Amino acid sequence: MQQRALVERRKGHRIGFVPTMGCLHEGHLSLVKLARSRADLVVLSIYVNPIQFLPGEDFARYPRPVERDEALCRAAGVDVLFYPDRDQMYAPDHSVIIEETLLSRGLCGASRPGHFNGVATVVAKLFNIIMPDVAVFGQKDAQQLRVIQRMIRDLNIPVEIIPGPIVREADGLAMSSRNRYLTPAERQDALCLRRSLDHVERRLREGERDVETLRNEVAGLLACVPAARVEYIEFVDDVTLRSVVRVAGVVRVALAIRIGSTRLIDNTVLES
């Protein structure tokens, strides 16, 4: 992969990169289109990164439909599929990680300690291997996007990060590889995420700006879905990810819940 990237760069070709853990869906393919619009060569990686999973999480059962993913990549016009195995990515005695210490504290980082260390480390490794000019990350994982942006700024990594919008199913559920874990009943319960975000946007249009009020209203909506266990309901500054008490400027409302054994996240941007 490194040799191919060097050859392409010597030809003056721009490399666009889409990092994934596989089990591809239309959300991933929308990122491929964005990369294609900004690059001559599109590389998509598939790697289920073990060091970003906590003990007891779904690393072992994370879906890996290899042949289906390869077919989707061909149909989407991906030029190179980079599909390493664990031994190629991590030496048995690997001892270096990258730690972001500010943006990763709250939201998902609060309940998944070490998760973003794993994310930052594998993304930095992939950048070193693939040497992209641009890389595309979806905004459903908004905290991940901000952590990666901070990493490339602080470590002077010469990659342009392009945010990709959230892609949703027809009923509003954000596309996610983990959606396939849901039973039909759980799938319907999961729509409470989008309903909650719609409610916040509607209340904002009506003039409500107080975060405590909005959070309590969302908590009430989620409480009406017995299967939904709330992990967090947060309103944060969209750049710093610091909690806010009023919706002023650009604020992101982010939700994390569990439906059964499946952890789901969603978010939207609010502009006062």
Give residue-wise pLDDT tens across range 180-224: 999 999 999 999 999 999 999 999 999 999 999 999 999 999 999
Q: What is the pTM of this model?
A: 0.96
Distance from C-alpha of 188 to C-alpha of 109, rounded to nearest angstrom: 27
CATH of 177-271, one of 3.30.1300.10, 1.25.40.10, 1.10.1740.10, 3.20.20.80: 3.30.1300.10
Please answer whether residues 20 and 63 qualify as being in contact, where contact means their C-beta atoms are separated by less than 8 angstroms: no
Q: Which residue, 11, 85, 70, is CA-closest to 41?
A: 11
Q: Cα angle at 46 between 40 and 51, to 5 degrees?
A: 130
Contacts of 232 (CB under 8 A, 6+ apart): 107, 110, 111, 254, 255, 256
Q: Are strands 228-237 and 250-259 parallel, antiparallel or unpaired?
A: antiparallel
Strands (E), the chain: 15-20, 41-46, 80-82, 134-138, 160-164, 228-237, 250-259, 262-271
Please answer whether residues 253 and 267 qualify as being in contact, where contact means their C-beta atoms are separated by less than 8 angstroms: yes
Distance from C-alpha of 254 to C-alpha of 265, rounded to nearest angstrom: 7
pLDDT of the residue at 201: 98
pLDDT of the residue at 272: 76
pLDDT of the residue at 220: 98
pLDDT of the residue at 238: 97
pLDDT of the residue at 87: 87
Q: Are strands 41-46 and 15-20 parallel, antiparallel or unpaired?
A: parallel
Domain 2-164 classification at class level: alpha beta
Q: Which residues have a catalytic role annotated?
A: 28
pLDDT of the residue at 184: 96
Q: Which residue, 250, 247, 259, 237, is CA-closest to 173?
A: 259
Low-confidence ranges of the chain (pLDDT < 50): none
Distance from C-alpha of 194 to C-alpha of 22, rounded to nearest angstrom: 24
pLDDT of the residue at 183: 97
Distance from C-alpha of 31 to C-alpha of 145, rounded to nearest angstrom: 13
What count of Cα atoms within 13 Å lies in the side-chain half-sphere of residue 260? Answer: 14
Residue span(s) of the chain under CATH 3.40.50.620 come to 2-164
